[in-house]
Amino acid sequence: MCGIVGLFLKKDDLRPQLGDMLTDMLITMTDRGPDSAGIAIYGDEAGPLKMTVQSDAPAVDFAGLDVALAGILEAPVTMKVIDTHAVLSLPEGGEAAARSFLDARGIRIMGAGTSMEIFKEIGLPKDVAARFGIRGMGGSHGIGHTRMATESAVTTMGAHPFSTSADQCLVHNGSLSNHNQMRRRLTEKGFAPKTQNDTEVAACYISSRLAEGVNLGEALEGTLEDLDGFFTFVVGTRNGFGVVRDPIACKPAVMAETEDYVAFGSEYRAFAKLPGIDAARVWEPEPATVYFWER
């Protein structure tokens, strides 16, 4: 099954409540998937490059990590540790060196960007959200996922959202049938997935298309041609939010729009607590149709 949610704010008033609203939406979807949960949140300000990393032994792995990294990059690095995750702020142009340093130390990179932070772990949405203090986070938009694992192992790396390029992330309900073939093609193009998860292939696909210069809408159109299987994808970029369903559209999806926000949920009940939902325009996204918003 899997449960997915997304929220894109059109106005600034609700920004401080973004994490709180997304958490409520995701907890409501818990019974669609108990294996792992995650949220990508686009923070209030776009600043220096941030990298969200994870370790199963944070006390050991994160001790002195900022100092060691600053030494490698020859510039100041700040680190905010939150449970098993840490958000590193890096100097401009330091991403590639930081990645190879972190990879060598066996520290997992969840995502990177100037605006986006990703928190994901094995467990139920309420526990994951509490561990990372998602309710207290503000921002402009975000997506979340509660997973029922079908195609790959229940691990932190197998949890959604998947981020394969700066400030991009994707959550998926469904399963892809040509992900092995696509994995080979994407690897040849330099967008190699790190896990055996089918969803990461979709995230890499979007990254590869955006890198080619198409816009988010065109990248989502491409999934209808190039990816085979069942899917509802919800994607985030630094300033955008998009939704697409496969042509059969078996996987459930509901959207709601008011003057203040656009919301996505696997089921309507995810919206029940949103402000003004009774007066919102609520609709089901059409199969093989791309919806996206950019600010």
Partner 1 sequence: MQTIDMATTPLRELNAALQAQAQQTNQTQWVIENPRGAHAVAVGLDAPIEVTVKGSTGYYLGGMNKQASVHVTGSTGPGVAENMMSGTVVIEGDASQYAGATGHGGLLVIKGNASSRCGISMKGIDIVVHGNVGHMSAFMAQSGNLVVCGDAGDALGDSLYEARLFVRGSVKSLGADCIEKEMRPEHLEILRDLLARAGADAKPEEFKRYGSARKLYNFHVDHAGAY
Q: Which residues are catalytic?
A: 2
d(CA 205, CA 24): 30
Q: Which of 101, 230, 268, 293 binds partner 1 (CB under 8 A)?
A: 268
- Render the burial of 69-78: b for 16+ CB within 10 Å, e for the rest: bbeebeeebe
Tell whether residue 275 is a contact of partner 1 (CB under 8 A). Answer: no
Q: Dig out the tokens for 227 from the structure.
A: 């990816």
Provide the edge-to-edge strand list for the sheet that holds 108-113. Answer: 78-82, 85-90, 49-54, 108-113
CA 124 to chain CA centroid, nearest Å: 17
Q: How far is the CB of 52 from partner 1 (least distance, A)?
A: 32
Tell the residue number behind the tokens 């958490």, with chain if given: 23
Amino acid at 140: S
Cβ proximity to partner 1: between 168 and 266 the closer is 266
Cβ proximity to partner 1: between 138 and 265 the closer is 265
Tell whether residue 252 is a contact of partner 1 (CB under 8 A). Answer: yes
Residues binding partner 1: number (CB under 8 A): 15
Tell whether residue 287 is a contact of partner 1 (CB under 8 A). Answer: yes
Q: How far is the CB of 249 from partner 1 (least distance, A)?
A: 6
Cβ proximity to partner 1: between 132 and 231 the closer is 231
d(CA 217, CA 171): 16
Tell whether residue 283 is a contact of partner 1 (CB under 8 A). Answer: yes
Tell whether residue 272 is a contact of partner 1 (CB under 8 A). Answer: yes
Helix, strand or coil for residue 150? coil
Q: How far is the CB of 232 from partner 1 (least distance, A)?
A: 12
Three-state SS string over 80-146 comes to EEECCEEEEEECCCCHHHHHHHHHHCCCEEEEEECCEEEEEEECCHHHHHHHHCHHHCCCCEEEEEE
Tell whether residue 271 is a contact of partner 1 (CB under 8 A). Answer: yes
Tell whether residue 130 is a contact of partner 1 (CB under 8 A). Answer: no
Residues 190-249 binding partner 1 (CB under 8 A) are 249
Tell whether residue 56 is a contact of partner 1 (CB under 8 A). Answer: no
Cβ proximity to partner 1: between 218 and 267 the closer is 267
Contacts of residue 108, Cβ cutoff 8 Å, sequence gap at least 6: 53, 54, 55, 156, 157
Cβ proximity to partner 1: between 13 and 284 the closer is 284
Which of these ranges, 153-161, 197-205, 235-243, 278-286, lies near partner 1 under the rule CB under 8 A?
A: 278-286
Q: Give the chain's length.
A: 295
Tell whether residue 270 is a contact of partner 1 (CB under 8 A). Answer: yes
Binding site for partner 1 (CB under 8 A): 249-250, 252, 254, 267-272, 282-284, 286-287
